[in-house]
Amino acid sequence: MGVNYIMRCHGCKAIWDLNLGYGLMAGERKNIIKCFRAQSKARVKSMIEEATVPPYGFAYRMCRCDECGEILSVPSIVLGDKKFLESCPSCHGQVVLLDEDINKISCPKCKGKVTIETTSIWD
Ligand SMILES: [Zn+2]
Ligand SMILES: [Zn+2]
């Protein structure tokens, strides 16, 4: 089951709606590969073909885009020291993983404090 966060900045009131983790579809490799862009599929396929336990390192993970600075979730594979993060959905920039500790995340626009407003489960 994945988790959905509605996060809000206390400074500029920006809101993010992020789906994180993975759903039932991650039980099958072909469904995981579908989550990635056409140019990423071959790489993801080769990364997960030797993994044996679902979700094969797959999850939507919280990231920050290096180019546009936005906080977002992207499909990603993390298997031991192998890591692949899909690029930013809005500007295609390179993204970096964010600390899972929400208290360490600040607003990319105003540097204000960001908190989670609502948490729900998806699958
Ligand atoms: Zn802000
Ligand atoms: Zn971006």
Ranges of the chain with pLDDT below 50? none
30, 39 Cβ separation under 8 angstroms: no
Structural domain that includes position 66: 2-122
In total, the chain counts a number of residues equal to 123
Edge-to-edge order in the sheet of strand 114-122: 15-20, 2-9, 114-122
Say which DSSP state 44 is in: H
Cα-only R_g, the chain? 15
**pTM for the whole structure:** 0.93
**Exposed/middle/buried for residue 15 (C-beta within 10 Å: 0-12, 13-18, 19+):** exposed
What is the pLDDT at residue 104? 86
CA of 108 to the centre of ligand 2 (A): 11
Total domain count for the chain?
Answer: 1
Ligand 1 centroid–CA 29 distance in Å is: 37
> Count of alpha carbons within 13 Å of 34, Cβ hemisphere only?
7
Q: Measured between alpha carbons, how far is 15 from 24 in angstroms, rounded to an integer?
A: 27
Alpha carbon of 24 to ligand 1 centroid (Å): 33
- Residue 53 confidence (pLDDT): 95
> pLDDT digits over 67-90, tens only?
999 999 999 999 999 999 999 999
In sequence order, what are the residues at sequence separation of 6 or more whose Cβ sits closer than 8 angstroms to the Cβ of residue 67? 88, 91, 92, 93, 94
